[in-house]
Amino acid sequence: MKLLFAFLSTATICFTGEAASVSDSIKTIRSVGPEGQGNTAAAKAWKSLAQANAAALPEILRAMRDSSPLSANWLRAAVDTIADRGGKLPQQALLDFIADQKQEPRARRLAFELIQKSNPKLADKLIPGLINDPSVELRRDAVAHVLEAGTAKQTSKQTQAAVKDFRKALDAARDIDQIQAATTALRQLNEKVDLPRHFGFLMHWNVIGPFDNTERKGFATVFPPEKKIDLSATYEGKSGKVEWSEFITADEYGMVDINKAYPGPGDGLKEVTAFAYTEYTAASTGPAQLRLGCKNAWKIWHNGQLVFSRDEYHRGIRIDQYQLDINLTKGRNTFLVKLCQNEQQQSWTKQWQFQLRVCDATGTAVLAADRPPTPETGTDNSGNNPTPGRRPRN
């Protein structure tokens, strides 16, 4: 009797009420909010959704579009559970879904992996066509293929063909390891690579400091540049008058090393705060990301609005460590970075630096409309004769 009931329940979901049940369940799951809000209802909906048959997979995948990251994970777990149960995959519908670049990028990758698991040869055929796909996860395989092809050509001394492949791979690559692999290969073949441009790092800045950060209090202190940007102004700093000066980085990963602007004694200044300011001309209004790497405490403002802040010191730095959504304004945009150095004296606490780039959600550089050529030399380590502040362009 129990088994019969279970069978009838499943049959109802799979054959008669599936459409309503799937869409209702999805709606509930898409409603989960912060701090677990909606979890109880979502759990009930998930239980129903996970009973759907494989034909429902495209609808569930489509529901990931514009869903919150948490909702996407609920939906993803349903996809995995349904797929694990077996049953005939709706192959053509999944292929159509993969081809639809308007769908959620990670959902398209998930659809690809369903195909890959059931029909690896078909998946392999898709890969070359994905090299410029908006899904970073999808294009990764395509880039890997081109890198492999380039390496094979390089080994067989087909230099020009290898360069062409590596250049294609670099243009398409968004993951750091692949960008570095393509760059290394090209440089081995005496080709030039403009990494700052590829990433969209901001290279031209104005800096001012040092202000005080004794006992790490500078992070919360509102210093004059946080109220108003006046590149001709002079302020009272930690050890006397401070003024803006031009700072250019030529580091190919866009590192803005504040120790070069304010070297200080020994291993550099401690318990200090500095600001870096730049301007950026956007070709159009629209969403973008600021991607920051930094191991000092920091705050960042876009057009005078605080985007994010973090008071962690010396736990590591990585390209794209922080990914911050912003909306660019067509024309002039301003970015202000506050950078705090703490009191630690260990050798690994010397760094007082950051790297910042503007890109889209896939990591593709969004270059300023008037971006100047990548500088070949940057501000040196002498700290002498800084150029008075002027409006920097990126």
Partner 1 sequence: MKNSLIALTFALGLTVHSEDWNQFRGPHGNGVSTDKNLPTTLQDDNLKWSIALPGRGLSGALVLGDHVIVTCSSGPTQSRLHVLALNAKDGSVAWHRQFWATGRTMCHDKTSVAAPTSCSDGKNIYAVFSSNDVICLDRAGNLQWLRGLTADYANVSNSLGMSSSPVVTGDTLVVQVENDSESYTLGLNKTNGLNRWRLDRPKAANWTSPVLLKSGLVALQSKTGIDAIRTEDGSNAWSYEDGASTIPSSAVLNGVLYIPSHGITALKLNDADAANTPKQLWQSGRLQPGTASPIVIGNKVFTTNRAGVLSSGNTKTGERGWQLRLKGPFSATPVAAGDYLYFVNEAGLMQIVDTTAEEGEITGKLDLGEQVLGSPAVGSGALYVRSNSKLYKVAK
Q: Which positions touch partner 1 (CB under 8 A)?
A: 34-37, 39-40, 42-43, 46-47, 50, 68-70, 72-74, 76-78, 80-81, 84, 106, 137, 140, 175-178, 295, 308, 310-313, 315-318, 321-322
Among residues 208 and 292, whose Cβ is nearest to partner 1?
A: 292
* 233 Cβ contact partners less than 8 Å away, ≥ 6 residues apart: 224, 243, 244
Closest CB 40 distance from partner 1, rounded Å: 5
Task: Give the nearest distance from C-beta 154 to partner 1 in angstroms.
Answer: 23
Instruction: Give 77 or 231: the residue with its C-beta nearer to partner 1.
Output: 77
Sheet of strand 353-359, all strands in order from the earlier edge strand to the far edge: 256-257, 353-359, 286-294, 322-328
Which C-beta is closer to partner 1: that of 46 or that of 280? 46
Contacts of 341 (CB under 8 A, 6+ apart): 213, 258, 268, 269, 270, 271, 272, 273, 274, 296, 352
How far apart are CB 2 and partner 1 at their closest, in Å? 17
Of 138, 146, 74, which Cα lies nearest the Cα of 112?
138
CB of 69 to partner 1, least distance (A): 4
Instruction: Compute how many other C-beta atoms are within 10 angstroms of the C-beta atom of residue 87.
Output: 13
Q: Which of 121, 136, 26, 138 is nearest to 82 (CA)?
A: 26
Nearer to partner 1 by Cβ, of 82 and 202: the residue is 82
Q: How far is the CB of 284 from partner 1 (least distance, A)?
A: 28
Tokens at 316, concatenated: 């590591």
Residue 198 CB, nearest distance to partner 1 (Å)? 16
Cβ atoms 136, 362 nearer than 8 A: yes
Return d(Cα 291, Cα 366) in angstroms, integer.
11
Cβ 251 to partner 1, closest distance in Å? 20
CA–CA dist 182, 165 (Å, integer): 9
What the block records as the tokens of 297 is 């405490």
Task: Name the packing angle between helices 159-172 and 136-155 (round to 10°).
Answer: 170
- Strands 297-302 and 331-341 come out as antiparallel
**CA of 64: how far to CAs of 31, 56, 57, 72, 108, in Å?**
12, 13, 11, 5, 10
**Measured from the CB of residue 260, what is the shortest distance to partner 1 in angstroms?**
23
Which has the closest alpha carbon to 344: 313, 317, 309?
313
Half-sphere exposure of 319 (CA within 13 A, CB side): 21
Least distance to partner 1 from the beta carbon of 46, Å?
A: 6
Q: How far is the CB of 379 from partner 1 (least distance, A)?
A: 26
CA distance 326 to 52: 38
